[in-house]
A and B are shown apart, each in its own frame.
Chain A
Amino acid sequence: KAGVTQTPRYLIKTRGQQVTLSCSPISGHRSVSWYQQTPGQGLQFLFEYFSETQRNKGNFPGRFSGRQFSNSRSEMNVSTLELGDSALYLCASSLRLTSGGQETQYFGPGTRLLVL
């Protein structure tokens, strides 16, 4: 079974631009979560999408948004980029059983975003 894939792997943008990152979950997984990883703040939860709906949201400004498609693939968008948005953006997928039991979250390799 193929793992979580993220594209692109590396990205360089300038301040004020916007960026869209893509995540393809493991086949059959319905939940996609996004995390930001920086040396200073560590791993921080951005949001989770399940059945094309945002289910959970972290403490990030509205410049960070996402969506999920009917095939469970997800995109996240960051508008008006700031220098502090430079980070590794990780996507994780899980089965998301409706019973609420925890399913393992499988992480992709991440997209390394550098904002100049």
Chain B
Amino acid sequence: QQQVKQSPQSLIVQKGGISIINCAYENTAFDYFPWYQQFPGKGPALLIAIRPDVSEKKEGRFTISFNKSAKQFSLHIMDSQPGDSATYFCAASRISGGYNKLIFGAGTRLAVHP
């Protein structure tokens, strides 16, 4: 019930292409879904986040699509750049109950080739 499943484990995309990372969750009480980006030697940094009352959120080249009935959400990176090469983590949290605890997916290592 607490799991967040993330796929693929790794992804290679050509510069200018679209990177798509998918996540699925089980606990319907989750009500906050952030995506984090992590570079080697750094801590994760928030990229974009969505609440379940919205089906899509876009910030620049990054878009979250959210499907509440399927309990799935995904990150789309448009016009992928070599600088986007990093590990991406989806996460879920139940903030309505005052829980400040993030449940993370296993991560996706993205490599964008020039």
Contacts and interface: CB of A to CB of B under 8 A. Distances in A.
Interface residues of A, number: 28
A33 interface: yes
Contacts of B104: 42-44
B45 A107 contact: yes
B43 A109 contact: yes
A75 interface: no
Interface stretch (A14-22, A61-69, A76-84, A98-106): A98-106
A45 B101 contact: yes
Give the interface size bracket for B toward A. 20 to 34
Given A90-B43, A101-B95, A109-B42, A43 B100 contact: no
Which of B43, B45, B46, B96 lies at the interface centre, i.e. has the most chain A CB atoms within 10 A of its CB?
Answer: B43
A25 interface: no
Nearest to B106: A42
Interface of B: 32, 34, 36, 41-46, 49, 89, 91, 93, 95-107
Contacts of A31: 100
Interface string A87-111: 0001010101000111111111110
A22 B42 CA distance: 17
Contacts of B106: 42
Interface string A37-49: 0000011110010
A22 B51 CA distance: 32
Q: From DSSP, what is the main secondary structure of chain A's interface residues?
A: strand
A96 to B, nearest CB: 6
A43 B49 contact: no
A68 B41 CA distance: 25
Nearest to B99: A56
Contacts of B101: 33, 45, 48, 56, 58
Contacts of B97: 100
Contacts of B49: 102, 104
